[in-house]
Amino acid sequence: AQTVTQSQPEMSVQEAETVTLSCTYDTSESDYYLFWYKQPPSRQMILVIRQEAYKQQNATENRFSVNFQKAAKSFSLKISDSQLGDAAMYFCAYRGDYGGSQGNLIFGKGTKLSVKP
Amino acid sequence: DAGVIQSPRHEVTEMGQEVTLRCKPISGHNSLFWYRQTMMRGLELLIYFNNNVPIDDSGMPEDRFSAKMPNASFSTLKIQPSEPRDSAVYFCASSFSLAGGRGNEQFFGPGTRLTVL
């Protein structure tokens, strides 16, 4: 069975600084997707960034980027120029590539990010 | 698009009562997922449907839980009878997939916060 581990329950960053959130996963599959979701106090789950395992290039979305190390099964999220609005729970998630059918997301326990002004 | 719609947003009920949570997926999406979020267990899949057919219900905790998807635009999650340990946030998510195609993003609803007294 696939598992996702986030080893940092809480992180803190100064506004405008850079922070990296860690995520490791375990799978025997070769094709899969990895995601980072943000959950602010409103509890809405918001997709931050996604990475396809078959792509070697790391995904980027504005201030958000990932460091995807397939061999190490590591998928960290870097937030640059942190803003107060980035404060939230961040969840790392895995999904297998099942072709026509849709596999469910497997989530890590989350990292609570605080941003200090 | 209105996004995934869930109702109610909050539900407070007494132990033993029946609870019904509702979800309207994004129009055109053919996969629907029910997740539960608790402090102890994090985010976990309860059940998911593809083209209105249940594909994986292994996450449904016990017979007290049941889910239906009578058509492509509506799903319900029912708990009968409810117990205090069912207190959690329940999320519905939807996505679109083509047969033989690669997986697509899941869009989450705002969640239903259930409290069972």
pLDDT in tens, chain A (117 residues): 789 999 999 999 999 999 999 999 999 888 889 999 999 999 999 999 999 998 889 999 999 999 999 999 999 999 999 999 999 999 999 988 765 445 789 999 999 999 999
Res A98: pLDDT: 65
> Chain A contacts of B2, Cβ < 8 Å?
none
Q: What is the mean pLDDT of chain B?
A: 92
Res A102: pLDDT: 55
**Residues shown for chain B:** 117
Res B102: pLDDT: 52
> Is B79 or B61 the better-scoring residue by pLDDT?
B79
> Chain A contacts of B32, Cβ < 8 Å?
none
Distance from CA of B20 to the nearest CA of A (A): 20
Give me the residues of B, 81-110, that contact A with CB < 8 A.
Answer: 89, 91, 93, 95, 97-108, 110
Residue B106 has its nearest CB partner, among A91, A98, A105, at A105
- The pLDDT tens digits of the residues spanning B25-37 come to 999 999 999 999 9
Non-local (6+) Cβ contacts of A5 within 8 A are: A23, A24, A25, A26, A108, A109
Tally the C-alpha atoms within 13 A of residue A35's C-alpha that lie toward its C-beta.
Answer: 23
* Model confidence at B98: pLDDT above 70: no
Give the separation between CA A7 and CA A93, rounded to whole angstroms.
14
> Chain A contacts of B98, Cβ < 8 Å?
100
Q: What is the percent of chain B with per-residue pLDDT over 90, rounded to a whole number?
A: 77
Tokens of A9: 């329950």
> Confidence class of residue B99 from pLDDT cuts 50, 70 and 90?
low
